[in-house]
Structure 1
């Protein structure tokens, strides 16, 4: 069974609009994706590629359709927090064609996240896939790593010998005809039809710095077979982030096991440079993008502005899988792995910053039916960065973990849709106030959990601005039993009655809450016909993984 989505009477209070119910998800979630599989020639014919995708659903009854070019179409129904892997047709791999139609199209009725995996013999790489509605028209091209046997020979060896070829850009077009311009010391232009892919070599002397398009595109950067040692190469690629003009902060975790060979590829408008990584200087500031480079890995780094509250990590069987977490040093206790607070690993200080990092092992577990196991990593009150990383005897792979939500979570779990709190416009009786809220598809506020009460009253105080003394809440006394109950049918677990309350007056059957901090937001019973403003709310929607 998948317990998955929970509707909970808790308002998300940080940055919450009093009216909006929109989800605060990041670039990872969407309903439509175009995916390509880069050429991977780490092992030659006859070893076939084993390419696949991991799809994670956020909501119950999500219908997912996978269209593999002209080769195959499949539709499945998934439940919230369920992940499935799909093995892809090997003919989708791009090869060397400058223009290709080999695009994998995925659509869904509700939001999902996707991680792509390219696997051929001992060469494996992973990528976080961006949905089509989050793509951009401009990307900055990273500087080219100097690799003996690959880039150092790229300008003198024919591109027909792929492991002696330059790096390349893979540009994936969306649903509209598009003109792509790649700028540097030379100008390259290409026109793409809907769902087409362009592959463009990136030679060092051309100093290509930016990709611009008339319509949104996705851009991958990498090498089909970068030399790692004598007569040994491996696929190397990453999904680029959209270009930004603002200066961003990147905190580089010091918990990677490969620090001695790591460099940072920095891209800004009009310039690019490569810096050696030092644990003594883990903070990078750049008005552009930053990519961590290792001879076996390209990892797009997460800027501080994109830190989020909830991520999903899907480990790959038969590999060593990790989650690397970066969080403010004062917020480590709020990190949760699955249902439980994170414990068991040490936090490493990122020198000269207020941040720390840690690495935890995440391995596949037994799952129901045909699903694959996932681990939800979330923070109860703050934002953080989470990376998915892994390795086997020959490969290192990884990508930014898919973001489920940027909305601060609460003590129960990962927020899919924040709750909303609103003070009613007019003062009226309790029954009329209940109808007022329900006419707005809301409910009179119910505070059945003691932990939810401080958060709700904090938001109430912000909205009230000191104007109201008391407000109606969704509790009243039963005329049949005399017991108090919540209108949303939650059990009455924790109360905050004023001294001497609830009143024994037979007419006092409905409950008011103080609306100002000097009253400590305590409760008292009152005549249901008295006129007070109501507090309406919608429930927070929580995602919880099946193994919790």
Structure 2
């Protein structure tokens, strides 16, 4: 049954939560880490996905324009620590980033070892309806047997919610609070691009708005085991991104781990055949030595929680093909979850396979691994299926920061992290195989080469309705009569997958080239044919690929 659920999820429509865009809004929650040490940093890391990208940063009425010359290059923008939001009130301390081309953005807040990186969601991922995790700070400390805060001031004794108006007009916000007798609704307005911060200790269950907002759950200084403290931050995703099937990653064998469930209704969670919960709560999750499957009866969001760390979990329906990882230093670590049958195909930005030891995840067709990433910036991708990637980094013996890596490409590609997917087309006029190849190349394309079942399905899904047959890039060698793929930009590929029709292929004397049925009813079956026969060329335009660069450009604001 579990395997069936995973397969159904894998082939479902899924949701797109790509982390790039050209419009972002965020804020810097207060970080009191280690009680006001001297070193303090607030910054934005902005990476360009395309050459010659111009982006602008807006903060406190000031605008700064910055140009990134190369794709994959990161600009580190230092912003004054006064940008931190520490008051329970309305504020104009939001930070906006706009760009003429797609970029990724994450914010960094650092006080000595208290570091948090927040992947800033583009405004296309923001919404109007958010479920809020019911997390009480004092119960949180009790759950991990940590010391109570020495101060009873509000800034220490509760979690905070920070709501940012993402639009250029006044936004009406409704906060739904759970009381002993009923639910209470508080309504207020936030002016364009401003924010409002208030306390929450499990009383707030929902935030609704007329227009898009960003919602951040935070605490300035969560106690950790060594009597220090570490800021926590979690940008909450709208309710449309909730789902039922999750693989809980093993986060480096953290001794104290809890699972935080958030749901609109009473929900059962199934782990290893046992029911974990029927309502929102901090759930004990001991012995998380390997990644595990958790299935919910209703749509939920799940977070993995340990002292000073809240990690949003990626539902199976939101797995992607390529992730961007950015660390504050070298030798960060990543948890990778991939299909067991193709786990050896996971690659990094170097194009080389991910060298690692994998552990099968019970009850699923997935395996997981933990790997060290030597570079500050990298991609991890899979050529034929979707994966999940989490990144974490140790700042001390007890302080971690991190969360899901940035999904860059939802669609798998054989050759890398595809920013712009490949495109298939069929020429209008029948030509010979040789003429068809020239036609494709003269139009900035190459022969279509469906080298696997996944690639063939992608080709079939993207071709408009046609009749007859078209040429593809599979042919026989004149010397050996062995089949090979005629890929224009790579060494000819060995043939490991075929999709021949009945009684095909014919003997070499009757056909050295290959055509594909263009009729969907014929399942795109292949036929061998004489290379001089007249058929329409089936062409493929390669994707535009993304590769991060190792060096960063420092900037200051303003």
Partner of 1:499: 508
Aligned residue among 149, 152, 170 for 1:177: 170
- For 1:343-358, what aligned pairs fall within 5 Å after superposition? 343-358=354-369
Q: CA deviation at 1:462?
A: 6.7
Partner of 1:333: 344
- SS in structure 2 opposite 1:168? strand
Partner of 1:303: 315
- For 1:418-457, what aligned pairs fall within 5 Å after superposition? 418-423=421-426, 427=429, 443=443, 446-447=446-447, 452=451
Q: CA deviation at 1:109?
A: 1.2
Aligned residue among 186, 199, 213 for 1:188: 186
Provide the alpha-carbon RMSD of the alignment.
Answer: 4.1
Q: CA deviation at 1:41?
A: 1.2
User: Do residues 276 (structure 1) and 284 (structure 2) align?
Assistant: yes
Structure 2 distance, partners of 1:243, 1:133, is 14
Q: Assess, with a 3 A threshold, how the Cα gap between structure 1 residues 33 and 396 changes in structure 2: closer, same or farther.
A: same
Q: Is the 8 A contact 2:133 2:260 kept in 1?
A: yes
Q: Is the 8 A contact 1:254 1:282 kept in 2?
A: no
Per the normalisation by structure 1, the TM-score is 0.77
- SS in structure 2 opposite 1:235? strand
- For 1:277-426, what aligned pairs fall within 5 Å after superposition? 277-278=285-286, 279=288, 282-285=293-296, 286-317=298-329, 321-364=332-375, 373-393=376-396, 394-410=398-414, 412-423=415-426
Structure 2 distance, partners of 1:242, 1:51, is 26
Aligned residues: 487
Partner of 2:532: 526
Q: Assess, with a 3 A threshold, how the Cα gap between structure 1 residues 444 and 34 changes in structure 2: closer, same or farther.
A: closer
Structure 1 distance, partners of 2:456, 2:264, is 46
Partner of 1:7: none
Q: Assess, with a 3 A threshold, how the Cα gap between structure 1 residues 442 and 301 changes in structure 2: closer, same or farther.
A: farther
Q: Assess, with a 3 A threshold, how the Cα gap between structure 1 residues 110 and 392 changes in structure 2: closer, same or farther.
A: same
Q: Assess, with a 3 A threshold, how the Cα gap between structure 1 residues 340 and 150 changes in structure 2: closer, same or farther.
A: same
Structure 2 distance, partners of 1:156, 1:494, is 63
Worse overlay, 57-66 or 512-521: 512-521
- SS in structure 2 opposite 1:51? strand
Per the normalisation by structure 2, the TM-score is 0.76
Q: CA deviation at 1:72?
A: 5.9
Aligned residue among 204, 210, 222 for 1:214: 210
- SS in structure 1 opposite 2:215? strand
Structure 2 distance, partners of 1:127, 1:344, is 28
Q: Is the 8 A contact 1:173 1:193 kept in 2?
A: yes
Structure 2 distance, partners of 1:428, 1:342, is 41
Partner of 1:65: 56
Structure 2 distance, partners of 1:495, 1:297, is 47
Q: Assess, with a 3 A threshold, how the Cα gap between structure 1 residues 168 and 457 changes in structure 2: closer, same or farther.
A: closer
Q: CA deviation at 1:168?
A: 1.0
Q: Assess, with a 3 A threshold, how the Cα gap between structure 1 residues 180 and 157 changes in structure 2: closer, same or farther.
A: farther
Deviations 1:500-521 (A, max 9, x none): 5999xxxxxxx98453799845
Q: Which runs of 5+ in 2 are unaligned?
A: 1-9, 179-183, 266-278, 475-484, 496-504, 551-558
Q: CA deviation at 1:227?
A: 2.3
Q: Assess, with a 3 A threshold, how the Cα gap between structure 1 residues 535 and 240 changes in structure 2: closer, same or farther.
A: same
Structure 1 distance, partners of 2:193, 2:19, is 20
Q: CA deviation at 1:220?
A: 0.8
Q: CA deviation at 1:538?
A: 2.9
Q: Assess, with a 3 A threshold, how the Cα gap between structure 1 residues 375 and 523 changes in structure 2: closer, same or farther.
A: farther
Q: Which has the higher contact order (CA 8 A, sep 6+)?
A: 1
Q: Assess, with a 3 A threshold, how the Cα gap between structure 1 residues 533 and 354 changes in structure 2: closer, same or farther.
A: closer
Q: Which runs of 5+ in 1 are unaligned?
A: 1-13, 16-23, 365-372, 476-485, 504-510
Q: CA deviation at 1:30?
A: 0.5
Partner of 1:144: 135
Partner of 2:200: 202
- SS in structure 1 opposite 2:344? helix
Q: CA deviation at 1:352?
A: 3.2
Aligned residue among 232, 235, 239 for 1:236: 232
Partner of 2:158: 166
